Amino acid sequence: MDAVAAARKNAATDARIKNALLRLMENTPYHEISVPDIVLAASTARCTFYRHFATKDALLLACCTERFEGLYKRISEEESYTFHETSLKYFSYWMEHLHFLKLLQKQNLLSFFTDRFNRFLDEVIGHAQSSAGPDAPPAKIFYHFYCSMSAMSGILVHWLNTGCKESAEQLSQFYVSFLAEGSADDPDCRYYRANRAYPFDPSYV
């Protein structure tokens, strides 16, 4: 078997095992699902499972990471020039994967999802910093990125927990309006708008 065929076979096996776990999660509490259960549902061998995934949690992480990478690809490959465009892609993407999110919610695994998403962002930032070398942007750019992504993630989780009533466009507008209006009454922000200077020692910004 050549390398291309082997890679395709491995990808197909990965997908089969991932889908088996997600099917089981439809009706069985996650903590009750065992590796033998997954192997049986995937019609594969136990040794095959362990060639691909070290544990059940590693398998669930792979399911999440697959979707994180899809989001990263969409946002990075499709040019966005505004917060509205970027957040609209973010919320639209997760609405396409709503069944997966609701499955995690049903299993009380949204905290697993958000924790792993933050770790994924750590990897993205780490790669960006190492790739840029001495030309890496200042630290505040990365903190702004985390702040932006965390805000969208918080909106997404609240939307899930309150019945998924709003559209992606509405969520995007809530996000942008927070950035534009949310600081209107903050004394530090008023000071900066009036003086174009910070009311504190700007050592880090």
Note whether 12 and 67 are same-domain residues.
no
CA separation for the pair 161, 84 (Å, rounded): 23
* 94 plus 191 within the same structural domain: yes
Task: State whether 90 and 116 are in the same domain.
Answer: yes
**Alpha carbon separation from 128 to 28, 69, 152 (Å, rounded):** 40, 15, 21
pLDDT given at position 205:
67
25: Cβ contacts below 8 Å, ≥ 6 apart: 33, 103, 106, 107
| Number of structural domains found in the chain | 2
Structure tokens at 122: 């750590």
Closest CA relative to residue 27, chosen from 98, 111, 99, 103 = 103
Give the per-residue pLDDT at 164: 97
Clarify whether residues 135 and 166 are in a common domain: yes
pLDDT at 143: 87
Q: What is the mean pLDDT of the chain?
A: 91
For residue 43, give the nearest of 66, 60, 23, 65 by alpha carbon. Answer: 23
The Cβ of residue 202 has, within 10 Å, a number of other Cβ atoms equal to 8
Give me the helix-helix angle, 110-132 and 139-161, nearest 10°: 160
pTM score: 0.87
Between 104 and 127, the more confident residue is 104
